[in-house]
Amino acid sequence: MADLENLKARTALDPLEIIIGGPSDAGVVLTEIPFRTKLVLRGHLSEKAFVSAVKSVLGVVPPAEANSVAAAKDVRILWTGPDEWMVYGDDPALAAKLAEALEGQHAAVTEVTEHHTMIRLSGRHARDVMAKGCAIDLHPREFGPGKCAQSHIGRITVLFDQLDEAPTYDILVRASFAEYLWMYLEDAGLEFGVRIEAA
């Protein structure tokens, strides 16, 4: 029988045995952001009760504009389609809180925490690394903080979110592709120098 008291939480990237470190002047920094709660939220912004319930839990209203992000203290809401958003944050009870607030409404909350891995790509050459494998125009005049996109990086379907001007990107990828994406980003960043940091 499994020793449940001594089980260690694992992530999709654990098999890589990632070593923290690298040059201090690296142009690319990679960080796994483990154990963040991730949810798919569906509902209608035209419904005042839906908007009110979501805001009461998340502290912010889901964005109506395509490929945009709404953020509160510990939560980000990414537009992924009409009446659909990806929500991520630090509260493990987020799904239960949202489901309770939306009870009886025509809305849905689906927990997808284990389905996705989050990789943060930052550093002065982060945009260059993204551009190597992503067809979206990432020039600051077209894509900046508060924007998100569903696209491909190195032929892998991802959802990414630009956090700041640096730029820093949080990339959500299906857990089964996490190792491949991590190795792809490391390889794409070699010419700029890569440092691995702990979350």
Q: What would the DSSP string read from start to end of 163-195?
A: EETTTEEEEEEEGGGHHHHHHHHHHHHGGG-EE
Query: Please, what are the averages of pLDDT over each run of 10 residues along the chain (199 residues)?
Result: 54 72 92 93 96 96 97 94 96 95 96 94 97 94 96 95 96 95 95 92
pLDDT at 22: 87
Tokens of 23: 């040059």
User: Is there a contact between 32 and 18 (Cβ–Cβ < 8 Å)?
Assistant: yes
pLDDT at 16: 66
Domain with CATH 3.30.1360.120 in the chain: 25-34+114-197
In whole angstroms, give the CA distance from residue 24 to residue 21: 8
Neighbours of 88 (CB within 10 A): 23
Q: Which CATH architecture best describes the domain 37-113?
A: 2-Layer Sandwich (3.30)
pLDDT at 199: 80
Domain with CATH 3.30.70.1520 in the chain: 37-113
pLDDT at 12: 67
Q: Which CATH architecture best describes the domain 25-34+114-197?
A: 2-Layer Sandwich (3.30)
pLDDT at 86: 98
- How far the first Cα of the chain sits from its last, in Å, is 32
Written as one letter, the residue type at 184 is Y
| Alpha helix ranges (H) inside the chain | 48-58, 94-101, 126-133, 178-189
